[in-house]
Structure 1
Amino acid sequence: MSVKMGVLALLVGGPGYGYQLRGEFEHRTGGTWPLNIGQVYTTLDRLERDGLVARGDADDDGHVVYTATDAGREEVARWFSEPVPAKRGRDELAIKFALAVTVPGVDVPRLVQVQRASAMRALQDLTRLKRTADPSGDLAWSLVLESMVFQAEAEVRWLDHVESSVARYMPPEVHDAAGRDGAMPTVAHEVVR
């Protein structure tokens, strides 16, 4: 999540100061992505530097109030009109399993079960939260919650795929043999470009 764009989008909705923006961001995302107040103020400084927000006078309580500029409103409109790029970063879980199937002595089926149990607990917790959510009263939080449910479901499906792939392509006796003699199994694959 781009903190920059989140803060800027909130300011398009109306003027605000740092603590207020942090609270509003956390409220709208259900506290899923807590923000450090220092990060909010650093972001506001950068937005001001880039001409996307303007610093106003302090309010009656001494809070410096920021407003979105025309350029800031255009930036938010552009952000809302474009798709979010697919995640192409490192996926720790995928890396863990890629290494697990190549390192001798790793009980990959056990690793799958441990990870699946964790994912299922998370999914159950999210499902309980979903039952208490009221989209008509807090659509923003409901959408964030649904996203987390779908991600947890996708993880469980992917773990099912890992489990079947390990059973199909890596028989236990091959993995056990590699663990006994200490030899590192070789993995050949073609990089798709």
Structure 2
Amino acid sequence: MSVKYGILTLLYKQKNHGYELKLELDSLLGTKGKINPGQIYTTLDRLIRDQLVSSAGIDHQERKLYELEPKGKEELEKWLLEPVPYNTTKEDFFFKWSCARKIQFHEEQRMLEQQKTLIIQEVMELTQLKTEFLLEGDETKYLLTTGMLFHLDADLNWINQVVNRNR
């Protein structure tokens, strides 16, 4: 996740102060983690330097406000249109599995079963989160979690196919 583009996204429709940007970025990240507050201010300084964001004065609580500049809007829209390379754990595992096959690793089945167990655990955790997001009415997180579950399901199907071929 790019803090830069997260901040540009959050400033797209309204001015905001650093702490609110941090809270909103944490929300955007969802299950991926939290942002260090220092990252927010360091990134804001760079965005101001690059003329993508500017200082917009202070709010009624004496907090410094930031706003998106036209150049920042262009940068964000350009980034949003760039395709994202597909990179998943399965691809990392596929490489590891290919290496195991190359050396005829005697514990290939164990590797596959361990990976399968990890995926099933992730599916269970994400299924619980998906339900929580649905009950909370958070459609964005619900749909993102659903997409992650579809990817994990495909990974699990692939491992099952490999296991069945090895028997």
Q: TM-score range by the shorter chain?
A: 0.7 to 0.9
> Residue by residue, what CA displacement relative to the aligned partner does 1:122-177 show, whole Å, maximum 9, x if unpaired?
10121122223228832221122123212222221232243345x18xxxxxxxxx
CA distance in 1, matches of 2:142, 2:148: 10
CA distance in 1, matches of 2:43, 2:158: 36
Instruction: Assess, with a 3 A threshold, how the Cα gap between structure 1 residues 106 and 53 changes in structure 2: closer, same or farther.
Output: farther
Q: Structure 2: which amino acid aligns with 1:85?
A: V
CA distance in 2, matches of 1:106, 1:46: 52
Q: CA RMSD in A?
A: 2.6
CA distance in 2, matches of 1:84, 1:119: 26
2:16 equivalent in structure 1: 16
Q: CA deviation at 1:60?
A: 4.4
CA distance in 1, matches of 2:135, 2:60: 35
Report how many residues are paired: 166
2:15–2:56 Cα contact (<8 Å) kept: no
CA distance in 2, matches of 1:135, 1:8: 29
2:129 equivalent in structure 1: 129
2:97 equivalent in structure 1: 97
Q: CA deviation at 1:12?
A: 0.5
1:181 equivalent in structure 2: none
CA distance in 1, matches of 2:133, 2:88: 31
Q: For the pair shown, which has the larger CA radius of gyration, 1 or 2?
A: 1
Q: Structure 2: which amino acid aligns with 1:123?
A: V
1:29–1:140 Cα contact (<8 Å) kept: no
Q: TM-score, normalised by structure 2?
A: 0.82
2:141 equivalent in structure 1: 141
Instruction: Assess, with a 3 A threshold, how the Cα gap between structure 1 residues 146 and 164 changes in structure 2: closer, same or farther.
Output: same
Q: Structure 1: which amino acid aligns with 2:155?
A: E
Which of the pair is proportionally richer in helix?
2
Q: CA deviation at 1:83?
A: 4.3
Instruction: Assess, with a 3 A threshold, how the Cα gap between structure 1 residues 31 and 22 changes in structure 2: closer, same or farther.
Output: farther
Compare relative contact order (CA 8 Å, sep 6+) and give the higher one, 1 or 2.
Answer: 1
CA distance in 1, matches of 2:49, 2:98: 43
CA distance in 1, matches of 2:162, 2:51: 48
> Residue by residue, what CA displacement relative to the aligned partner does 1:47-78 show, whole Å, maximum 9, x if unpaired?
11221100233434443221101111222233
CA distance in 1, matches of 2:127, 2:119: 12
> Residue by residue, what CA displacement relative to the aligned partner does 1:73-130 show, whole Å, maximum 9, x if unpaired?
22223333x1423236994322321222233544001110111011011101211222
Instruction: Assess, with a 3 A threshold, how the Cα gap between structure 1 residues 101 and 148 changes in structure 2: closer, same or farther.
Output: same
CA distance in 2, matches of 1:83, 1:158: 28
Instruction: Assess, with a 3 A threshold, how the Cα gap between structure 1 residues 31 and 117 changes in structure 2: closer, same or farther.
Output: closer
Instruction: Point out the more displaced range, 50-59 or 3-12.
Output: 50-59
